[in-house]
Structure 1
Amino acid sequence: MSERVALPEASRLTVSEDRGGYYRIVFPNGKVDGTAVRELYEVTMQLADQIEQLKLLVDLSGIEFMPSGGLGMLVTLRKKFLGSGGQLHIYVPDAQVREVFMVTNLDRLLNLYSNGDEASTSFK
């Protein structure tokens, strides 16, 4: 990566830059609550302001429950990414959480991956 980006700070999630040219957001407490959802939006917007065509991987490993607010935020982020040419990939290893995406038909709208390596190598 040629430009140096200031990584945003948050209390409920972790942001890191990967050598593959994308940024990863993880929820280390294994919880996607209201504060984490708000921070997901804020952190993503801060990165998008600094990086044209942002590549973002939201890593839901360790998450056993995905609230509707989290689902809605991922849809909101997808809409923002489409307009700017960015890419949003979501790593969903838990079968029950993945089923929530399927029941709501969000698996058809979002780029979901059950394999972490595939999620990170699928960026164009």
Structure 2
Amino acid sequence: MSDGLNIKAAKKGNAVVVSLEGSLDADTAPRLDKAMEKLISDGQAKVVCDLASLKFISSAGLGTLSSVRKKLKAAGGDLRLASPTAEVLDVFELLSFTKIFSISATLDKALEGF
């Protein structure tokens, strides 16, 4: 059972920072997908996901992030990830998602040049 997911979005420079808190899994991934679709339809194609408070990510969560990244790229933008916890970063590394996503240790670093 999911602990839930809090999603907060705030404009920062040319990008939107989407802060994720809790668990990104099969129960919560559709909510993130819907929130990202809204950003894209509003013309926001440059997104940084702040993962500092994300405690858990499942394969469904990874699939959603991958799908969102493709949609953002098609809209002329990109999805960058920032500040993952050690546990979340381990999942990305284990599944070689570090080769797919731009992952920065800090939010400021992820926003550079965006």
TM-score by length of 2: 0.84
Q: Which residue of 1 aligns with 2:6?
A: 12
Residue type at the aligned position of 1:96 = E
Instruction: Within 5 Å, give how 1:18-57 maps onto structure 2.
Output: 18=12, 20-28=13-21, 30-51=22-43, 54-57=45-48
Report if the CA contact (8 A) 2:25-2:59 is conserved. Answer: no
User: Percent of aligned positions with the same letter in both sequences?
Assistant: 25
Residue 97 in structure 1 maps to residue 88 in structure 2 = yes
* Structure 1 residue 85: Cα displacement: 1.1
In structure 2, the gaps of 5 or more residues are: none
Instruction: Within 5 Å, give how 1:103-122 maps onto structure 2.
Output: 103-122=94-113
SS of match in other structure, 1:56: strand
CA distance in 1, matches of 2:25, 2:87: 17
Residue type at the aligned position of 2:106 = N
Residue type at the aligned position of 1:23 = V
CA distance in 2, matches of 1:44, 1:98: 21
SS of match in other structure, 1:34: coil
Residue 67 in structure 1 maps to residue 64 in structure 2 = no
CA distance in 1, matches of 2:63, 2:19: 17
Q: Choose 1 or 2 for highest CA Rg.
A: 1
Deviations 1:45-82 (A, max 9, x none): 11111216x11011111222211111010110111122
Alignment RMSD (CA, Å)? 1.8
Residue type at the aligned position of 1:38 = P
What is the count of residue pairs matched by the alignment?
110
Report if the CA contact (8 A) 2:20-2:51 is conserved. Answer: yes
